[in-house]
Structure 1
Amino acid sequence: MERLLRGHPVRNLTVDGVDAVFVKDPILVRKILVTESKNYGKGELFRKARNLSRVGMLSEDETMHRHYRRLANPYLRSTKVDEYVPAMRDIVRDVMASWRAGEPVDVQAEMCRISCAIAVGTLITGLPAETTKALGERLSVLAWEMIRKPLYGSAAARAARPGASGRLARARKDFRELLAECIAELLDSPESTAGYLSTLLTDSDAQGNRVLTADQVCEEAVMMLTAATVTTASVMSWALYVLSEEPLVEEKLLKDLTHRRNGSAVHDGAGPGYTLRFLMEILRLYPPVWISCRKTLSDVALGDHSLPAGTNVVFSSYLLHRDPERYPDPHRFDPDRWLTTHPGKADASYIPFGIGSKGCIGEPFAWQELEVILDVVTQEWKLGTEAGSHIRTAPETTLHPRRLLMVPQPR
């Protein structure tokens, strides 16, 4: 991909028979996402949520999109996320209780279990413990199937055939059915509250009429919960793998995590602390949302190029994050580059969570969750790959390891 697009800031290409324009220039990408975003709508290529409804945050209507972002914001803002930390830690420990020293674990499946249990346990409150656990387990199956969903090419075409994505369809049906039961119980008991779900259910217009049907509430919650989990699971899988390959990085990280846990974080420069630098570098090299698409809503000028209305415009955070002009030795894992490198506000050279009005609303939640999982796992276990393992990158719905079995050993 890098060789194909080298030296071409804007280039025509075809994806699955659909003509598109690929943009590699971070300044032009920022125009698409921020300064001229009104000229670009949601593109159909690579849309992970294409099988979900178009209500709520997936609505094409900008006013509705902003409204549902505001509804979700109280549960995802930094001050609220701080309250989740004790519950997050307990959930990670609970999942790890099944690990056994010397017995390989499927790290990606386990990270799905952890991130899904955290999402359900923090965003949907007031449910019986057994229901919360069942929702988390069913969501983890759905998240794992979503992660592995091909985005393009012959694999995507095969997956799109009727009945071809049986496991994904079953996983979505199983999770959605249980979630729908929870919503029905909430409607039967108006005095009950369940966090984010209750907020969606009680959203009403000026006349006091509910805006979303129970079915639409279910769709919106499925979208939010899968988006909150597939990305985290992929990022944490890469983080644990990199630690197993970089002993000096692991040593520095463990030291910093210990200090942070004790309330005495080490500041080794003017930049962010080592834990944050480590996670920033993981997200630079392995952005989960590695490719995106927009569509021009009218005739636009992008740099020196004129694009007619309806043009598919594709860009890749994977390539933007590996631009040698902005990141010297771009393929080297180096957390300390963030002591002197600062994500620019004038371009889109670092966009693991996107930018602009469509940027990830769950970014504060994600940063806190990643640090908590990293801290709790590494405090108890040292993970290593099996001898002779070769870990390949899978560019599917997320950018994840193709297969990642790791052997835990007690610290």
Structure 2
Amino acid sequence: MKSQTNSATSYSNDPHEHDSPAFQFSRMESLLRGHPLRDLTVDGVDAVFVKDPMLVRRILVSESKNYGKGELFRKARNLSRVGMLSEDETMHRHYRRLANPFLRSTKVDEYVPVMRGIVRDVVSSWRAGHAVDVQSEMCRISCAIAVSTLITGLPSETTEALSERLSRLAWEMIRKPLYGKSAARAGRPGASKRLAQARKDFRDLLAVCIAELLDSSGSSAGYLSALLSDSDEKGNRVLTADEVCEEAVMMLTAATVTTASVMSWALYVLSTEPLVEEKLLKDLTEKRNGSAVHDHGAPGYTLRFLMEILRLYPPVWISCRKTLSDVTLGDHSLPAGTNVVFSSYLLHRDPQRYPHPRRFDPDRWLSTHPGKVDASYIPFGIGSKGCIGEPFAWQELEVILDVVTQEWKLSTEPHSRVRTAPETTLHPRRLLMVPQPR
């Protein structure tokens, strides 16, 4: 008899969260307590849920060849069926290598002035005392950054139009339900009209840009050009224009929905933690002035703050793999085809690894270090399937945080309740905040 999980949970022990009609985190914690692995039926799918971070690391790193993409990855395949979401591991690795030159740390440093300019442009449109939808604004910012840095050489009006359409797509993707009755309703024909339309609008304009690149020899558009110029040993183009479009949509969407969700939580937490905000502003000012000093290689306060945001609110909050052959995991024998599920949300809140796990405490990272032998902290995943955009994300999050907090102090509206929504990303269900000048 398998335990069942369906659709409602509460977060009464967490000062930053409230009841949310979503995945049952609290019930999952109860069901998994004392069980490194347990058979569960998750949203109608039989699976083995893994709570032990050592075993999760085996799945993702040391024994990753035994595991393929599970059901949750298949839900993402409406974005792309080639490149990094391909079932073919060789193709996956190949397209990671193609993207790497645009996402490595040394390249990301070059993007900082562009990032800062984009954030300033967006937040300068805010009006003191007038509430802004923070998630929508973070979508605008992250999408403009992604398009402007990864797709270069386009006319400014085209870049702006792509950014605006990507922002609409990211906003719809963030709120796409993964589980329960809401997900079933969203999967019906015609039920996700806004998402489908937003994706079509962005993809159509991207396809025009790709066609123009193919017609103009010698022009370069960064990541798009790398995809278009990829060829086999005979010089034949590997991807069709349509497949290039699909891969770019996937990459750009993934690069934006996660950042928007994380930054929304960061700005919300700052509004509830005045001492944290004070320390963060001091560290950002010192970094800006070149006077920050960090002892013995310890992460600075800004990094510790962001690490703690990602611990409590990992945007990719649940993952699924499927065994490709019969395997042994811990004391369990799993036949081929078994769905194996694990949650970074639950791993990050394990009291054995993180004392007072629901407390927001950036200074825990002075003595706690992300595990290199387990998977107790995996906001970007680990191993060959880890997020290729991690260096980009850390830089982008810090830049957005710095520019926004330089200009504005944000607070939630009186008597507002912020609910946690575990959907495509783990995001605040609705977050209206009121800016006031610093």
Q: After TM superposition, give the deviation of residue 47 of structure 1 in Å.
A: 4.3
**What residue number does 1:382 align with?**
409
Matches within 5 A, 1:71-220: 71-220=98-247
Instruction: Show the counterpart of 1:234.
Output: 261
Secondary structure of the 2:271 match is helix
Residue in 2 that maps onto 1:22: 49
Matches within 5 A, 1:349-360: 349-360=376-387
Q: Aligned partners of 2:200 and 2:268: how far apart in 1?
A: 32
Once the 2 structures are TM-superposed, how far is the Cα of residue 48 of structure 1 from its aligned partner?
4.7
CA contact (8 A) 1:147 1:397 kept: yes
Amino acid at match of 1:212: L
Mean alpha-carbon deviation: is it higher for 51-60 or for 290-299? 51-60
Residue aligning to 1:267: 294
Amino acid at match of 1:373: I
Paired amino acid for 1:241: Y
Q: 1:106, 1:52 → 2: CA distance?
A: 26
- CA shift digits 1:76-108 (9 cap, x unpaired): 000000000000000001111221000000000
Q: Does 1:38 align with 2:38?
A: no
Of 195-204 and 42-51, more deviation after overlay is shown by: 42-51
> Conserved in 1, the CA contact under 8 Å of 2:134 and 2:433?
yes
In the alignment, the residues of structure 2 paired with residue 323 and residue 379 of structure 1 have an alpha-carbon distance, to the nearest angstrom, of 34
Match of 2:314 in 1: 287
String of CA shifts for 1:256-294, please: whole Å, max 9, x gaps: 000001111132565200000000000000000000000
Q: Deviations over 1:30-86 (max 9, x none)?
A: 000000000000002364522123211111111111110000000000000000000
AA partner of residue 307 (structure 1): L
Change in Cα spacing, 1:47 to 1:396, as seen in structure 2 (3 Å) is: farther
Mapped partners of 1:245, 1:52: distance in 2: 36
Distance 1:193 1:402 in 2: 39
Matched, 1:12 2:16: no
Single out whichever of 147-156 and 48-57 deviates more from structure 2. Answer: 48-57
Amino acid of the structure 2 residue aligned with 1:330: P
Alpha-carbon spacing, 1:85–1:29, altered in 2? closer, same or farther (3 Å)? same
Question: Contact between 1:287 and 1:399, CA under 8 Å: does it hold in 2?
Answer: yes
Residues 147-187 of structure 1: per-residue CA shift (max 9 Å, x gap): 00001111100000011001100000000000000000001
How far, CA to CA, are the matches of 2:180 and 2:409 in structure 1? Answer: 38
Work out the CA distance in 1 between the residues paired with 2:74 and 2:319: 8
Asked whether the equivalents of residues 107 and 406 of structure 1 are also in contact (C-alpha less than 8 Å), the reply is yes
What residue in structure 2 maps to residue 341 of structure 1? 368
8 A contact 1:34–1:357 mirrored in 2: yes
State, as a whole percentage, how many aligned pairs show the same letter.
Answer: 87
CA contact (8 A) 1:46 1:291 kept: no
- Alignment partner of 1:67 out of 71, 94, 103: 94
Mapped partners of 2:43, 2:408: distance in 1: 43
> Which stretch of structure 1 is more off in the superposition, 225-234 or 37-46?
37-46
1:222 matched to 2:249? The reply is yes
For this pair of structures, how many residues does the alignment match?
411
Q: Secondary structure at the match of 2:76?
A: coil
Q: Is the 8 A contact 1:269 1:339 kept in 2?
A: no
Q: Return the offset for 1:4.
A: 2.8
Unaligned segments of structure 1, at least 5 residues = none
Distance in 2, matches of 1:247 and 1:222, equals 39
Q: TM-score, normalised by structure 1?
A: 0.99
RMSD of Structure 2 on Structure 1 (CA): 0.9
- 2-structure distance, mates of 1:6, 1:389: 33
- CA displacement, residues 217-251 of structure 1 (integer Å, 9 cap, x when unaligned): 00000000000000000000000000000000000
Letter in 2 for 1:313: V
The SS at the match of 2:237 is coil
Tell me which amino acid in the other structure corresponds to 2:376: S
Which secondary structure state, in structure 2, belongs to the residue aligned with residue 322 of structure 1? Answer: coil
8 A contact 1:92–1:114 mirrored in 2: yes
Q: What secondary structure, in the 3-state scheme, does the structure 2 residue paired with 1:149 have?
A: coil
